[in-house]
């Protein structure tokens, strides 16, 4: 890493509660499961951990509950080197995702909990953190009015920000216009834009569409994905966005940043759990060299 970019991630923190079973229970039915796991998650926390492992100086602005899950979520971030001074504690439960896994397919129920207490009023108290950032990264697992407030503050302070529009929803035009970069996957892009090809031309310097094993599309063309054997794709998008933010904040061009982010995501999907397999900067550069790419 040429420098240690100062990133602020604004978003969700969840505890993922994963139950694996041979089948899904019918209404009123009780079955025996095969396995139960808990994984720290939430798009905000995932992206903060990924960026920290890649060498950035990362602060996370978010909200957890005054419960054991909240304690654990904050502690995990501290262990990863993420600055947690700007995580609030709400008088409600922490966010959780209840995940049922059957034959490798996930059914997920997300209870936002404290994440929806991350309000514009709370963000206003953190304007100095945003203004001191070299890059801001935000997603949509928090109230849309909070996203709009962050967008306005970033524009006012001339701080670039990446909008990862997930989970997908229609967005006010101002948020799209103010974003420095927008990183939907294919399905999210189809919700945001009536014509994605037209959108790629209209937002030539900011729109990046991820297509999994098909790589990344932007106005400059297509950047192929790296070959990888997927064990668990949970968190791949979060790793991509974090890596993109780190590389752009380090002075990289968009094409270079997309290559770097593709490599990071390819490494991440080799492990179970969103955060477990997130790579370091050294991991990514070594992997890129092994695949004939120059990471600098």
Q: What global pTM score does this model have?
A: 0.92
| Three-state secondary-structure class, residue 50 | helix
Share of the chain above pLDDT 70, in %: 97
Predicted local distance difference test score (pLDDT) of residue 115? 98
Domain architecture of the chain: domains with CATH: 6-290 (3.40.1190.20)
Predicted local distance difference test score (pLDDT) of residue 66? 96
Please tell me which of 13-22, 56-65, 205-214 the model is most confident about, judged by mean pLDDT.
Answer: 56-65
DSSP annotation of 225: P
**What pLDDT, in 10s, does the model give residues 76-108?**
999 999 999 999 999 999 999 898 888 877 778
The catalytic site residues sit at 238
- The per-residue b/e assignment along 81-106, b for 16 or more CB within 10 angstroms, e otherwise, is ebbbebbbbbebbbbbbebbbeeeee
| Cα separation, 213 vs 219, whole angstroms | 19
Question: What's the mean per-residue pLDDT of the chain?
Answer: 92
Predicted local distance difference test score (pLDDT) of residue 233? 67
Task: Tell me the torsion sign for CA atoms 38, 146, 131, 127.
Answer: negative
| Cα separation, 137 vs 141, whole angstroms | 13
**How far, in Å, are 59, 80, 173, 189, 286 from residue 198 at the CA level?**
35, 40, 16, 11, 37
Predicted local distance difference test score (pLDDT) of residue 292? 78
Could you please report the per-residue DSSP string of 62-109? Answer: EEEESSHHHHHHHHHHHHTT-B-TTEEEESSPPEEEEEEEETTEEEEE
Higher pLDDT, 44 or 227: 44
Q: Are strands 6-10 and 135-138 parallel, antiparallel or unpaired?
A: parallel
Predicted local distance difference test score (pLDDT) of residue 262? 93
Q: Tokens for 66?
A: 């005054």
**What pLDDT, in 10s, does the model give residues 273-296?**
678 889 999 999 998 999 877 776
Q: Is the per-residue pLDDT at 37 higher than 70?
A: yes
Q: Which residues contact 146 (CB under 8 A, 6 or more apart)?
A: 10, 118, 119, 120, 122, 123
What average pLDDT score do residues 57-71 get? 97
Predicted local distance difference test score (pLDDT) of residue 2? 53
Q: Which of 237, 186, 17, 201 is nearest to 111 (CA)?
A: 17
**What pLDDT, in 10s, does the model give residues 148-207?**
999 999 999 999 999 999 998 989 999 999 999 999 999 999 999 999 999 999 999 899
Q: Which residues contact 291 (CB under 8 A, 6 or more apart)?
A: 226, 227, 263
**What pLDDT, in 10s, does the model give residues 218-252?**
998 888 888 877 766 677 899 999 999 999 999 99
List phi, psi (to 5°) of 261.
Answer: -65, -40
Predicted local distance difference test score (pLDDT) of residue 99? 85
């Amino acid at each position: 890493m040429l420098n240690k970019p100062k990133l602020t991630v604004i978003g969700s923190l969840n505890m993922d509660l994963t139950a694996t079973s041979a089948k899904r229970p019918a209404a009123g039915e009780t079955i025996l499961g095969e396995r139960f796991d808990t994984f720290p998650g939430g798009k905000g926390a995932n992206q903060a951990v990924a960026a920290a492992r890649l060498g950035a100086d990362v602060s996370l602005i978010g909200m957890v509950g005054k419960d054991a899950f909240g304690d654990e979520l904050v502690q995990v971030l501290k262990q990863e080197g993420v600055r947690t001074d700007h995580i609030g504690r709400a008088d409600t439960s922490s966010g959780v995702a209840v995940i049922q896994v059957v034959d490798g397919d996930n059914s997920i129920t997300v209870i936002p909990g404290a994440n929806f207490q991350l309000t514009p009023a709370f963000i206003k108290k953190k304007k100095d953190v945003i203004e001191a950032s070299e890059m801001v990264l935000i997603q949509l697992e928090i109230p849309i009015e909070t996203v709009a407030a962050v967008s306005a503050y970033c524009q006012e302070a001339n701080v670039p920000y990446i909008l990862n529009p997930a989970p997908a929803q229609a967005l006010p035009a101002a948020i799209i216009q103010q974003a420095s970069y927008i990183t939907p996957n294919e399905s999210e892009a189809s919700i945001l834009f009536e014509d994605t090809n037209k959108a790629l031309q209209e937002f030539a310097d900011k729109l990046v569409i991820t297509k999994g094993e098909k790589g990344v599309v932007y106005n400059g063309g297509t950047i192929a994905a790296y070959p990888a054997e997927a064990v668990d794709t949970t968190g791949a998008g979060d790793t991509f966005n974090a890596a993109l933010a780190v590389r752009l904040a380090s002075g990289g061009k968009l094409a270079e940043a997309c290559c770097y982010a593709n490599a990071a995501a390819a490494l991440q999907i080799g492990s179970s759990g969103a955060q477990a397999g997130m790579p370091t900067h050294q991991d990514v550069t070594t992997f890129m060299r092994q695949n004939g790419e120059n990471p600098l």
